[in-house]
Amino acid sequence: MSIATKRGDSGQTGLAGGIRVSKSSLRVEACGTVDELNSALGVARSRCESDDLQGRTKVMEGLTRQVYEVEATEGLLSDWSLPGEHPTCAAYDFARTVCRRAERCVVRLTESGETVDPNILAYLNRLSELLWLFARKIEVDAGIGNSLREMNGKSGAKWSRAW
């Protein structure tokens, strides 16, 4: 049996249960974006040399607990950061942005009236926060100060950390 069934050549794809839908459907968009997120996580994890973070990215259990643990890291940036100062941080920042896009896709799917497990949104939201923290922890461990505002000589209240 070949992967090239040609059943999708007309712009339709199959969902669980044999249902055929347009490849432009919100459900397909959300599932595809989560698939892209999984690949982006794989890239970030493959670059990560931290045993602590490697173990966390493989398991992904208790995300809220992990957020609390990682954000307690002394010296962790609590401001906007500029991606790209460290290759692994950039990979985690990229995975975070894909995660946020997946979250927006799931919100649109929910708002369209489709049934979506509410735990999915909570999971994607928490995962995004955790990915931001992973990148910042790697910066701290590498001795990189990466505050976008400080680089631009700005002062004042800190901004949101993970969008």
Per-residue pLDDT of the chain (163 residues; tens, 9 = 90+): 898 989 889 999 998 888 999 999 999 999 999 999 999 999 999 999 988 887 775 557 688 989 999 989 888 866 677 778 899 999 999 999 999 999 999 999 999 999 999 999 999 999 999 999 999 999 989 988 766 666 666 665 554 454 4
Residue 8 vs residues 2, 17, 18, 29, 36: alpha-carbon distances, Å: 13, 16, 13, 15, 19
Q: Which residue has the tokens 């794989």?
A: 42
Question: Rounded CA gap, 158 and 149, in Å?
Answer: 9
Give the HSE-up count for residue 37: Cα atoms under 13 Å, Cβ half-sphere.
24
pLDDT for 57 equals 59
Domain ranges of the chain: 12-151
pLDDT for 159 equals 47
Q: Quick one: CATH architecture of 12-151?
A: Up-down Bundle (1.20)
pTM score, two decimals? 0.84
pLDDT for 81 equals 75
Ramachandran category for residue 17: left, alpha or beta (phi over 0 → left; psi -120 to 50 → alpha): left
